């Protein structure tokens, strides 16, 4: 089982859209699970999945092993794509992890307990730097980092790289890509043209700032299901190819 974490220390960079579209592309050939770790539940909403009863999804029960992760897995219209929906209690994940002996290993341990085999697991992660972030990086084989072409977003790549470098073992590979690119802006054009050549962690993929991405919220579906020939759909397809290569699938 390969684990891909879509993660950034910065919010509002197109993380959830990337996670949902990566999960869809992965599911075309691989049994895929998307785990929506963000309590805001964006990925859960975009895939049209309703959470199970709150008692079964409660993060305390999951972390303590009172509820198996398999019990909260939901199916989608795509037969090869399953989802673990977000839950309000995920906002307390840091607190729950802090109460365990080896917090950085808990997500890894929980994923290993899944009884239903999945080839690929996509983690849609909340932004920030926390104990949960450490657990996410420890569980991941590849960390996908969306980057809006701005100085702060570029700094977020350095922060993720530093976090991975500090890990003693089990370091995931980092795959950065440009997100929400508006080529009418000079800085966006310049960064999109130069960053993939300047950084070994950034692949040559630029997802445009597009109303088509926003339409996912209306269709409640990945872009390739309703606009397969659009520029964003093709960009997410190229992103999956880069991630797949990093996973050696």
Report whether 18 contacts 180 (CB < 8 A).
no
Mean pLDDT (the chain, rounded): 91
Q: What is the pLDDT of residues 194-214, one digit of tens each?
A: 889 989 999 999 999 999 999
Q: What is the pLDDT of residues 159-190, one digit of tens each?
A: 999 999 999 888 999 999 999 999 999 989 99
- Under the banding of pLDDT at 50, 70 and 90, the label for residue 147 is very high
pLDDT confidence of residue 59:
86
Is residue 29 classed as helix, strand or coil in its secondary structure?
coil
User: How confident is residue 53, by pLDDT bands cut at 50, 70 and 90?
Assistant: very low
125-145 average pLDDT score? 95
- Residue labelled with tokens 């579209």: 21
- Specify which of 22-26, 61-65, 190-194, 197-201 reaches the highest per-range mean pLDDT: 22-26
CB 204 within 8 A of CB 191: no
Q: How far is CA 228 from CA 1, 136, 139, in A?
A: 28, 31, 31
Helix (H) or strand (E) holding 194: helix 186-198
Q: What is the pLDDT of residue 50?
A: 66
> Does the pLDDT at position 151 exceed 80?
no
């Amino acid at each position: 089982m390969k684990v891909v974490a879509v993660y950034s220390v910065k919010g509002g960079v197109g993380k959830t859209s990337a996670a949902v579209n990566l999960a869809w592309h992965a599911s075309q050939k691989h049994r895929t699970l998307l785990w929506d770790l963000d309590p805001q539940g964006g990925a859960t909403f975009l895939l049209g999945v309703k959470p199970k009863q709150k008692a079964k999804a409660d993060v305390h029960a999951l972390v303590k092993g009172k509820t198996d992760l398999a019990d909260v897995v939901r199916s989608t219209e795509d037969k090869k794509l399953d989802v673990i929906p977000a839950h309000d209690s995920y906002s307390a994940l840091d607190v729950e992890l802090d109460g365990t002996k080896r917090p950085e290993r808990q997500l890894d341990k929980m994923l290993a307990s899944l009884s239903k085999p999945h080839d690929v697991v996509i983690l849609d992660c909340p932004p920030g730097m926390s104990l949960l972030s450490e657990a996410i990086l420890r569980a991941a084989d590849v960390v996908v980092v969306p980057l809006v072409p701005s100085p702060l977003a570029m700094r977020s790549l350095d922060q993720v790289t530093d976090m991975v470098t500090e890990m003693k073992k089990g370091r995931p590979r980092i795959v950065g890509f440009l997100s929400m690119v508006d080529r009418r802006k000079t800085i966006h054009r310049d960064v999109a043209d130069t960053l993939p050549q300047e950084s070994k962690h950034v692949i040559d993929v630029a997802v445009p700032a597009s109303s088509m991405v926003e339409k996912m919220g209306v269709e409640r579906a990945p872009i390739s299901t309703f606009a397969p020939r659009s520029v964003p759909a093709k960009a997410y397809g190229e992103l999956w190819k880069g991630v797949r290569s990093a996973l050696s699938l």
